[in-house]
Amino acid sequence: MATPTKGLVSRRQAVGAAILSPLLPAGAQAATPAPPLVMTRDALLAGLRATLDQDGILTGDAIGKRYLTRKQDDKPLAVLRPRNAAEVSAIMKLCSTARQPVVPQGGMTGLVGGGVAHRNELVISSERMNVIDGVNTADRTMTVGAGVTLKDAQDRAATLGFMVPLDFGIRKIATIGGMVSTNAGGEEVVRYGMTRESVLGLEVVLADGTIVTSLNQLIKNNAGYDLKHLFIGTEGTLGLVTRAVLRLRRRQDGAATALVAIDKPDGVPELLRHLEEELGGALTKFEIMWADYDAFVRKYCPDLKSPLGPGHTYYLVTDAVGNDAEFERERLKKVLARAKKSGVIVNAAIAKDEAERRSFWALREEAGAKFSEMGPFFGYDVSLSLADMPAFGARIKREITAALPAAQVLILGHVGDGNMHLVVAPGTPAEEAHHKCNEIIYGAIRELHGSVSAEHGIGTEKKDYLAWSRSPEEIVLMRTLKQTLDPLGILNPGKVL
Ligand SMILES: Cc1cc2nc3c(=O)[nH]c(=O)nc-3n(C[C@H](O)[C@H](O)[C@H](O)COP(=O)(O)OP(=O)(O)OC[C@H]3O[C@@H](n4cnc5c(N)ncnc54)[C@H](O)[C@@H]3O)c2cc1C
C-alpha cells in the first residue's frame, strides 16, 4: 500500500492554499459545521489515488447505479473501495485533514436515505471488504469483513453446521456492515433478537483514522465499556465498521410453517402468547399481514396461492424450528388446533413440505415487488406495544383515507416483536401527501409511546421525527457523542441528528 500522504500538500503548505467552501451538502447538520477545506479537491483526490489501487477509486461515469438511489440526480465526488481497515484509516486521515465529508455504503438496501451521498461527498464502499476471515467452531463465532453479504455469511455458517441468526428478504445484497450500522432486525428477531444481539466484536475506523480493533470473541466480557454499541445502529455517523465478529447458533433444519387466519381483534397477541408457551422456545418467526395486504396479493400476485380463503382480518405466517421437521409440524398442528377450538384463530394450514413452506413465505416476502402497481407509495417502519396494534392499524386506515380518499394502506410486519410496516399509496401527487401521512402515522406513534423507527434507522427520512420518539436529554447525549467522536462533522453528515 502506498503511503497515505503521498501526493498531498502538507498541512503547513495547506495553510496558504486556497480556502474552499465547506463541502457539507445543503441542509446537512453536522455536530459542528466543518471548518473550511484546507486542501484543494484535486490534491485530496491525488492523495486518495496514491493511497488506493487502481480499482479503489471511481469517479465520473465509472460511478454506477449501485452507489446511487433511484431518485438521485447528482453523483458523489468519488467512490472509494478500500480493502481493509488500514486503507480506510489512510482515507480518513486524508479526509480529516481536508475536512472532507464521507458517506459509508454497504449494499445500499437501506430504506431511510442513510447511505445517500451527494455531489461534494465521498462514498466509502465496503464492497471489497468482503472476505470471511474464519469460523471459530469452538466458540461458535465468525469474523467477517463489513462488505460480506448476509447470504454469504449464512451459507458459510451452514456448511459448518451453524447458522447466523439473522434473516430477511434482501439477504443477497445487504451487508454485515450495513446491518451492524442499522442494527437490522428481520424475521427471526422474535427468537434471536436484532443484529446487536449477534455481534460480539467490531473493528472500526474513527473519523480521524484511528483503528479500534475490538474483535471480541467472548460472550461474557464486562471489562469496561462495551464500545461496540457506539457503532451498532448509529448509521455510520460515529465510525466506519470494517470487520465484525458474529455469534453463531447451532443450525436446526427442522422447520414447520403455518399460515393462520384470525378475525378476533386481540387474537394476534393471544396466539403469540399461546405459541410462546406451547412451542418451548421453537417459535422463530411470527409475521402478520392485514386483510388489505392479503387482498393486494390476491389481486396483483396471481402466481402466489394462499390455501386460506379471503376476507379475514389478519393472516399470519409462523415458523417453529427445531431438529426434526416432522416433530415440529405435528406439534404446531396440535397447538393450532387448540387455538382454533378456543376461538383464538379461525383457520390454519400447515405446510406439508419444503416447497409449500416456501410458497407460504412468498405470500409475505414477494409482494413488495408489486407495490408500485398502486402508484407512488411511501413505506413506514414503526414499533409499538402489541396490545395497541389492532386499534393503531384501524386508526391509521381511517385517518389516512379521510385525509386522502384515494389512498390505499397495506399493513404487514414482524409482529412478534411489535414491528409494523405500513405501505401507503396516496393516490394523489406525492409531496404534500407524504407530509400528511407522516404526521398521521408518527403522530399516532408519538401518542402511543412507540418508535418512529423499529429497524430501518433514521437516516435523513425520519430526522424531523426523531424527537417524537426520543426525549430532549437523549438527543443532547446523542449530539455529545457525535461531537466527541466526529468533532469535524465529516462522518455521514446530515444523517440521524
Ligand atoms: C426488500 C427489502 C427488505 C428489507 N427488509 C428488512 C428487514 O426485514 N429488517 C431490516 O432491519 N431491514 C430491512 N431492510 C433494510 C435494509 O436491508 C437494512 O437496513 C440493511 O441493514 C442495510 O444494509 P446495507 O448493506 O444495504 O446498508 P446500506 O443501505 O448501504 O447502509 C445503511 C446505513 O448504514 C451505513 N453503513 C453501511 N455500511 C457501513 C459500514 N461498513 N460502516 C458504517 N456505516 C455503514 C450507511 O451509511 C447507512 O447509513 C430491507 C430492505 C429492502 C430493500
Distance from C-alpha of 360 to C-alpha of 90, rounded to nearest angstrom = 48
Query: Would 104 be classed as within a structural domain?
Result: yes
- What distance in angstroms lies between residue 233's CA and the mean position of ligand 1's atoms? 10
- What distance in angstroms lies between residue 25's CA and the mean position of ligand 1's atoms? 22
Residue pair 115/103 in contact (Cβ under 8 Å)? The answer is yes
Of 250, 282, 299, which marks where a domain is finished?
250
Residue pair 78/31 in contact (Cβ under 8 Å)? The answer is no
Decide if pLDDT at 385 tops 70.
Answer: yes
Distance from C-alpha of 203 to C-alpha of 215, rounded to nearest angstrom = 6
Query: Would 472 be classed as within a structural domain?
Result: no
Closest C-alpha to ligand 1, atom 5:
168
Decide if pLDDT at 21 tops 60.
Answer: no
User: What is the pLDDT confidence band of residue 428, given thresholds at 50, 70 and 90?
Assistant: confident
The sign of the dihedral angle between the CA atoms of 184, 185, 188, 193 is: positive
CATH code: domain of residue 107: 3.30.43.10
Distance from C-alpha of 393 to C-alpha of 421, rounded to nearest angstrom = 10
The 3-state secondary structure of 421-471, one letter per residue: EEEEECCCCHHHHHHHHHHHHHHHHHHCCCECCCCCCCCCCCHHHHHHCCC
Q: What is the pLDDT of residues 341-380, one digit of tens each?
A: 999 999 999 999 999 999 999 999 899 999 999 999 999 9
pLDDT score recorded for residue 34: 53
Query: Would 228 be classed as within a structural domain?
Result: yes
What is the number of domains present in the chain? 4
Question: Which cell numbers in the block locate residue 259?
Answer: 399460515
User: What is the pLDDT confidence band of residue 265, given thresholds at 50, 70 and 90?
Assistant: confident
Is residue 149 in contact with ligand 1, taking CB distance under 6 Å? no
Q: What is the pLDDT of residues 398-420, one digit of tens each?
A: 999 999 999 999 999 998 899 99
Q: What is the pLDDT of residues 76-105, one digit of tens each?
A: 999 999 999 999 999 999 999 999 999 999
Overall average pLDDT of the 287-307 stretch: 95
Residues 273 and 229 placed together within one structural domain of the fold: no
Do the strands 78-80 and 122-125 form a parallel or antiparallel pair, or are they unpaired? parallel
Whether the full predicted model's pTM is greater than 0.85, yes or no, is yes
Closest C-alpha to ligand 1, atom 51:
109
Closest C-alpha among 369, 352, 256 to residue 303: 369
Distance from C-alpha of 133 to C-alpha of 123, rounded to nearest angstrom = 24
Contacts of 223 (CB under 8 A, 6+ apart): none
Residues 81 and 169 placed together within one structural domain of the fold: no
Query: Would 3 be classed as within a structural domain?
Result: no
Residues 124 and 19 placed together within one structural domain of the fold: yes
pLDDT score recorded for residue 429: 78
Query: Would 466 be classed as within a structural domain?
Result: no
Q: Is 388 helix (H, G, I), strand (E, B) or coil?
A: helix
Q: Which residue range is the domain that position 182 belongs to?
A: 132-250
Question: Which cell numbers in the block locate residue 215?
Answer: 474483535
CATH code: domain of residue 168: 3.30.465.10
Is residue 129 in contact with ligand 1, taking CB distance under 6 Å? no
Average pLDDT, the chain: 91
- Read out DSSP for 135-170? EETTTTEEEEETT-BHHHHHHHHHHTTEE-S---TT
- What distance in angstroms lies between residue 442's CA and the mean position of ligand 1's atoms? 22
CATH code: domain of residue 441: 3.30.70.2740
Greater pLDDT, 360 or 41: 360
pLDDT score recorded for residue 73: 85
* Probe residue for ligand 1, chosen from 112, 125, 181 as the CB with the greatest number of ligand atoms within 8 Å: 181
Closest C-alpha among 476, 477, 450, 448 to residue 462: 450
Overall average pLDDT of the 61-90 stretch: 95
pLDDT score recorded for residue 37: 62
pLDDT score recorded for residue 32: 46
Overall average pLDDT of the 51-71 stretch: 95
Residue pair 164/142 in contact (Cβ under 8 Å)? The answer is yes
Identity of the residue numbered 244: A
- What distance in angstroms lies between residue 118's CA and the mean position of ligand 1's atoms? 18
State which ligand 1 atom lies nearest to the alpha carbon of 236: 44
User: What is the pLDDT confidence band of residue 26, given thresholds at 50, 70 and 90?
Assistant: very low
**DSSP class of residue 20?**
B
User: What is the pLDDT confidence band of residue 246, given thresholds at 50, 70 and 90?
Assistant: very high
The beta strand positions in 283-418, using DSSP E, are 283-290, 314-322, 347-350, 378-383, 408-413
Query: Would 461 be classed as within a structural domain?
Result: no
Q: At which residue does the C-alpha cell 447525549 appear?
A: 477
Residues 98 and 38 placed together within one structural domain of the fold: yes
Residue pair 424/378 in contact (Cβ under 8 Å)? The answer is yes
Distance from C-alpha of 330 to C-alpha of 334, rounded to nearest angstrom = 6
User: What is the pLDDT confidence band of residue 27, given thresholds at 50, 70 and 90?
Assistant: very low
Decide if pLDDT at 322 tops 90.
Answer: yes
Decide if pLDDT at 433 tops 80.
Answer: yes
Overall average pLDDT of the 195-217 stretch: 98
Q: What is the pLDDT of residues 437-452, one digit of tens each?
A: 999 999 999 999 999 9
Radius of gyration of the chain (CA): 24
State which ligand 1 atom lies nearest to the alpha carbon of 194: 11
Overall average pLDDT of the 264-272 stretch: 92
Is residue 494 in contact with ligand 1, taking CB distance under 6 Å? no
Of 332, 367, 402, which marks where a domain is finished?
367
% the chain with pLDDT above 70: 92
Tell me whether residue 98 is exposed, middle or buried, using C-beta atoms within 10 angstroms of its C-beta: 0 to 12, 13 to 18, 19 or more.
buried
Q: How many CA atoms lie within 13 A of 103 on its CB side?
A: 31
